[in-house]
Amino acid sequence: MSSTADTDARIALGVGAIVGESFSIFFKNLIPVTLMGLIASLLSLLLTGALVGVDVVIGVALPDMSTPAGVSLWAITLVLQIAFYSLASALLVQLAYDAKLGNPIQIGRYISPAIRAIVPVAVLSIVAGLIAGVASIALIIPGLWVYALFSVVTPAVVIERIGFGGLGRSADLTKEYRWPILGALILIGICVAIINFVGPFLAGILMVNAGIFLASIAYVVTSALGLGLSGISIALIYARLREIKEGVTVDQIASVFD
């Protein structure tokens, strides 16, 4: 008799459908998606810019790594950036489900669950990133596989309110589906990488010709767009895994916030 995992594995994740729907939700809700990303990107820029300089944060200058103090400030900057990325991701998870269901986008309703999730999501993101980094020391593929393994930590924490149990929950949900998840993440990641390249590139041009204010605007807008697309795709991957493995519909997932 086939195991449950074997049965689940025969059901396609639907990489093409997830990628296509991610872009559909992204473009149809471009203004609220950008706004939620901007909240996180702007707060991150203001706080981290005060620590290491706005020019360093937007990528037009290098951080000072010549002293222990400089290294410490840069480490704090990275932690803060992860925390604000976590906030944006927690907001976008909720937007993705409302958009998928055709419900009104209500940013105010998303704030409280996002704030509750920010600490565990940020901590678990750092842990997962360190594990992926160690795995990548030998080869790139193991690091990417670890990324797929822990890819749905954010929606698991936000939706199921499981706190620091998010890593284990993500590992359970992604079992037997990590390679197709990786395929979806790579496809989305290429687009996000292009967006994230454009940001510092434009910021560098504007820094020289128009000043730091417009350079900062270019950086936070492109960062918001990249955050939006990646956050939506992760939310849809999580929803698809819950549907395949547990028979949970998007309506049931979204009802958590009612």
Least confident segment among 58-62, 87-91, 137-141, 179-183: 137-141
Q: What span, in angstroms and rounded, lies between the C-alpha atoms of 167 and 150?
A: 6
Q: Tokens at residue 123, please?
A: 């901590």
pLDDT, tens digit, for every residue of 116-126?
A: 898 999 999 98
Backbone angles phi, psi at 61, to 5 degrees: -145, 160
pLDDT at 29: 94
* DSSP track, 157-199: HHHH--GGGHHHHHHHHHTT-HHHHHHHHHHHHHHHHHHHHHH
Q: Which residue has the tokens 């990303």?
A: 37
Q: What span, in angstroms and rounded, lies between the C-alpha atoms of 42 and 57?
A: 11
Q: What span, in angstroms and rounded, lies between the C-alpha atoms of 12 and 127?
A: 29
What mean pLDDT do residues 190-210 have?
84
Model confidence at 236: pLDDT above 90: yes
Mean pLDDT of the chain: 87
How far is residue 258 from each of residues 39, 74, 76, 179, measured CA to CA in Å? Answer: 23, 40, 36, 34
Q: Tokens at residue 159, please?
A: 């939706």
pLDDT at 41: 87
Q: What span, in angstroms and rounded, lies between the C-alpha atoms of 181 and 102?
A: 25
Q: Which residue has the tokens 């269901």?
A: 101
Q: What span, in angstroms and rounded, lies between the C-alpha atoms of 37 and 26?
A: 12
